[in-house]
Chain A
C-alpha cells in the first residue's frame, strides 16, 4: 500500500524553482526529472498544454518561454527556473478572446481542438516577431504543430486574417 518511506528513487528528489506563469510569480518545488509540461499540467493545473508525442515532434505541448515557443515536453522544469512562461490560459483576459483566438473560430481553424492551444501559441509568437508574414512563413511558423484533423488551411487563413487586421 501507499507510503513515503523510501527516498531512494530519483523521482523523489525535488528542487525549488521560480517561474512567472501568465504574469503571475510562482515558487514551486518540482521533481528534478519532471518536464515543464508535467509541472504546468500537474502542479499548476494548467491543462491547456497537451501531452501527445513527448519527443518534441507534435507541438501539442507548445508553451511560450521567454518569448519563444518551446516544446515543453523537452524542457526540464528546473531548466526553466526564472523564466517567464505563457500558456494558452494566459492569452484571453477578462473572458475576452484575443483576435487571434477569435480568428481561429471564425475561419474554421478548430476541429477536435487537441492541438489548438499549441497552434495558437505558435501563431502568437510568429506574429509578434513578424506581424505581416507570407503564407509560406505562416506554414513554416506552425510546421512544428501537427493537426491530424488536417485543418492547416483554415489555421493558416486564421493567422493571415489576424495579421491583416493588425491586432493579435
Chain B
C-alpha cells in the first residue's frame, strides 16, 4: 500500500490516534462545568391529543431545575425545518409520532432528570394514527398536518405533501414489444449511527452556544438564530466529529428545545438520546414503487413509467427533498427515450424520515433494477447484456437538461462482471445478480476554506465540513501536503466551530472532497501565489516566471529555492503567516426541477454470488463485488473503506433491517435487540471492491464524490442472485429467511417438479 502523504497515498487517518486511544471526545464526552442533564418526556402512543401536562410533583423533586412544556415556549410555537417550517420545538396540542417529546426536564444529574421525567403526568386522548401508505392515502384518513401550515397549497387537504413529476418523450404514445409492470416495496429502516444523537446548549454572553453531532453546523446556526430571534453572530455552533451520521445528523432535531432549556436555566444543559429515542428521531422513508418498463425485442428500453410513493413522517424534515432528488435519476443511467416519474411524499404519524445514505435513490433503484431483471428474464436476454445495451455513454444527456453522463460507466460494469465471473458455471443452489446504481451529487453548494501557512512551515486548515467517519480531515490535509509540501503531521485541520471556521453549506451528497476539497486547493494556490510574490520581491525577478511546486519555488532562471526559506525571508523579522483563501461554488439553476444540475453522478456496479438454503430460506452471500467510478481515488484506503462500508450497510436493508409498527402506529422493535444490523458474522464470505479512475470528476485532481454509491444497488443485485439460484421472485425487502422461505414454498406449491435454477 502506498503510505505516502500526498494524493494517491493512504496515510493514517487524521484524528485516528484519538479514536484508538479513547481520547476522541464526542458530544456526550465533553467536559462542561456546571452542566445540567436533560431528559425527554414522551407518551407511549403514535398520536394523541394532549389534554394537560402536570409537572408539579416532578418539579418538586430534588435536583430538578426547570421543566419545559409547550406552554412555557413562545406563542405561536416556533417551528423549523429545512424545507417547510412545520416542526414545532416541542409537541403542541397533539403528539404526531411515537416518541415525540411533550416535555423536557433539566436536573443536576441524569438520574434525577430521568426520575422527574417519569413523574410528569400527561393526560391525553389517543387518536387514530396513520402509519402505512394505504392508510395515509385513504380519502377518509385524518390529516397529519394542519392545512393552515400550507396556505394556498392545493394538496393541503390531503396527506400528500408534494408530488414531483418529471419526464420526457411521450410515454403514452410509446410502443414496446414487452411491457413489464410490478410494484416493489422498500422497508422503513433507521440510520443507527453507533453514537446516539446528543445535544448541548449554554448561554454564551448575549447569545447562545450549541453543541451537536451535526453534519450541517451552519444550517443549524440559522435554525437556532431564527427560533430564538438572534443574529447569526450570536449563535455559536460547535460540531464535534459525529460518531457516524449517514444523513441522520444533517438537520436540527432537538437543538432548539435544548437551547430554550439552557436559556431557562441559565446553565449548560446536555440531552443525550438513548438508542431507542434515536430510532424515534430519524429514519429512512419506506416506499412502494410501481415500475412499468417497455422493452424492445433486443432488450433496449422503449419507455419507463414510474409511480413512486414514499411514506415520510409527521414533519417534513428534508424528506420531501429526498423524494424529489432521489427519484429524479430514477430511470437509472440508461438511455430511455420516454420517461414519466411521478413521486409523492406522503405524510404519516411516524418518525420524521430524513436523509439516509443514498438519499431516496436506494428505494427507486431497488424497484427499477429489479424490474429490468424481470424484463431480461422474459426476453431471454442476459441481465448484464441488457444493462450494457442501454447504458448511457459519456456525454449523453440521459436525463435531458441535466449534467450529461460524466463517466466511462461501462468500465465499472464490465469490471464488476469480470470480478464476479459473470457467465461462468455455478454450483447447484447458487446464483448471481448484477445491478447498477446512480445518484445525483450536490445540485448547489458553497464551501469556504482558509489555509494558513505558519512561520515554521506548518499549516492550519479551517474547513466547515463534518468528519463523521468518511475521513474528510485526512483528505484535506493530503491536499495541503500535495500542494505545498507541508508534511501531513504538520497540518492541523479545524472543523466544527461556526465562530472560527468559515462557512460551508453542508456535509452531504458526498460533496466534501469535491467542493471543500476545491476550496482548500484554491486556498493553497492563493498561498502559492503569495509565495511567488515574496520570491519575486526577495530576488528581484519577474513574478510571472516563478513556479511554486511541492515544497519548493523555482525562479525564472531555474534556481530552485526551498519554500521554507522563501517563507522565512519573506515574512521577515516580525514573522507571522501567509493566509490563503479558497471558495468553491456549485451555482443554483432556478429553472431546474431540483434547483440545480448534478455536480457529478455517483456510479456503482454491484455483483453478487449467493447460495440459498432451501430448507430455511437463509441466503449466504458467497461473493460481493462492488465497483465505483470515483474519478480519482485521492486516498485509496479510505475509498475502499467507504465503498465496503456502504456495501455492508446495503446488506443491512437487503437482509435484516426494518422498523415494525403495531396496529396503533407504535414502533415495536426499538433498540438493538429487536432491530438487527450487520455484524462481523454477517459479512459476505468474500467482499471485493475496485474503482474506476479516469480523473474525470469536478473535484481536486479529477475526484468525484463516492461515499454512497456502493449502497445503492445492493438489494437488487442480491435479489437477482436469489432469483437465479431458486427461481423465487421477491419484490419486498428485506430478504429475510422467512420471506425467502415463503417464496420458495409458493414455487414448490405451484410447480412441484421444478425448483432448480431459473433461466
Residues of A bordering B, CB below 8 Å: 1-6, 9, 11, 31, 41, 45-55, 57-58, 60, 87-89, 91-92, 97, 101-102, 104-106, 108, 110-117, 120, 138-140, 142-156
Contacts and interface: CB of A to CB of B under 8 A. Distances in A.
A52 B196 contact: yes
A60 B194 contact: yes
Contact of B641 (A87, A97, A151, A156): A151
Interface stretch (B141-149, B222-230, B467-475, B557-565): B467-475
A113 to B, nearest CB: 3
A117 to B, nearest CB: 5
A149 B469 CA distance: 7
A110 B20 contact: yes
The A contact surface, by secondary structure, is: loop
Nearest to A106: B12
A75 to B, nearest CB: 17
Contacts of B672: 52-53, 55, 57-58, 146
25 contacts: A3-B63, A4-B62, A5-B62, A11-B115, A51-B196, A51-B272, A57-B671, A57-B673, A105-B12, A105-B20, A106-B12, A108-B10, A111-B469, A112-B194, A113-B18, A113-B243, A115-B194, A140-B681, A148-B192, A148-B677, A149-B469, A149-B645, A152-B679, A153-B687, A156-B680
B276 to A, nearest CB: 9
Contacts of A46: 22
B194 A114 contact: yes
B21 A88 contact: yes
Interface in B10-62: 10, 12-13, 15-26, 28-29, 31, 61-62
Nearest to A158: B20
Nearest to B639: A108
Interface string B93-111: 0000000000000001101
Contacts of A9: 61-62, 111, 115
Interface stretch (B163-171, B254-262, B449-457, B646-654): B646-654
A19 B614 CA distance: 52
Nearest to B194: A114
A20 to B, nearest CB: 18
List the 4 closest pairs (A to B, CB-CB), nearest first: A48-B22, A114-B243, A113-B19, A112-B469
Interface string B188-209: 0001111110000000000000
B660 interface: no
A102 to B, nearest CB: 8
Contacts of A106: 12
B645 A150 contact: yes
Nearest to B272: A51
Most buried by B among A45, A58, A153: A153
Contacts of A4: 62-63
B234 to A, nearest CB: 28
A148 B641 contact: no
| Band of interface residues on B | 35 or more
Contact of A89 (B21, B243, B470): B21
A47 B25 contact: yes
Nearest to B30: A47
Most central of B20, B61, B62, B115 by chain A CB within 10 Å: B20
A3 B109 CA distance: 12
A146 B65 CA distance: 37
Nearest to A112: B469
Contacts of B641: 108, 111, 149, 151, 154
A53 B21 contact: no
A162 to B, nearest CB: 12
A52 B61 contact: no
B470 A111 contact: yes
Given A108-B637, A112-B241, A152 B680 contact: yes
A139 B272 CA distance: 31
Contacts of B275: 52-54, 58
A92 B21 contact: yes
Contacts of B28: 47, 50-51
A108 B244 CA distance: 16
Contacts of A89: 21-23
A111 B62 contact: no
A55 B673 contact: yes
A66 B115 CA distance: 33
Interface string B329-360: 00000000000000000000000000000000
Given A148-B194, A150-B647, A110 B22 contact: no
Interface in B660-706: 671-673, 677-681, 683, 687
A147 B673 CA distance: 15
Contacts of B111: 9, 11, 31
A143 B680 contact: yes
A3 B62 contact: yes
B644 interface: yes
B652 to A, nearest CB: 9
Give the secondary structure class of B's interface: loop
B511 interface: no
Contacts of A153: 644, 683, 687
Given A41-B29, A143-B679, A151-B644, 16 more contacts: A4-B62, A4-B63, A11-B109, A51-B272, A102-B20, A104-B16, A108-B638, A114-B243, A115-B194, A116-B19, A120-B20, A146-B194, A148-B193, A148-B194, A150-B649, A150-B678
B484 to A, nearest CB: 24
A110 B467 CA distance: 12
A92 B65 CA distance: 41
Contacts of A138: 680
A148 B673 contact: no
Contacts of B638: 108
Contact of A146 (B31, B245, B677): B677
- A53, A140, A142, A155, most chain B CB atoms within 10 A: A53
Contacts of B673: 53, 55, 57
Contacts of A47: 22, 25, 28-29
Contacts of A102: 20
A59 B715 CA distance: 27
Nearest to A156: B680
B244 A112 contact: yes
Contacts of A112: 19, 193-195, 241-245, 468-469
B83 interface: no
Contacts of A147: 194, 680
B357 to A, nearest CB: 10
A143 B195 contact: no
B21 A101 contact: yes
Contacts of A114: 26, 193-195, 243-244
Contacts of A151: 641, 644-645
Given A106-B12, A110-B13, A148-B244, A143 B681 contact: yes
Contacts of B16: 104-105, 110, 113
Given A3-B63, A112-B241, A115-B194, A146 B29 contact: no
B645 A111 contact: yes
Contacts of A91: 21
B274 interface: yes
Nearest to B114: A11
B640 A1 contact: no
Contacts of B640: 108, 154
Contacts of A155: 680
B112 interface: yes
A13 B364 CA distance: 55
Contacts of B245: 112
A95 to B, nearest CB: 9
Contacts of B468: 112
Nearest to B15: A113
B219 interface: no
B111 to A, nearest CB: 4
A97 B21 contact: yes
Contact of B671 (A55, A117, A140, A146): A55
B246 interface: yes
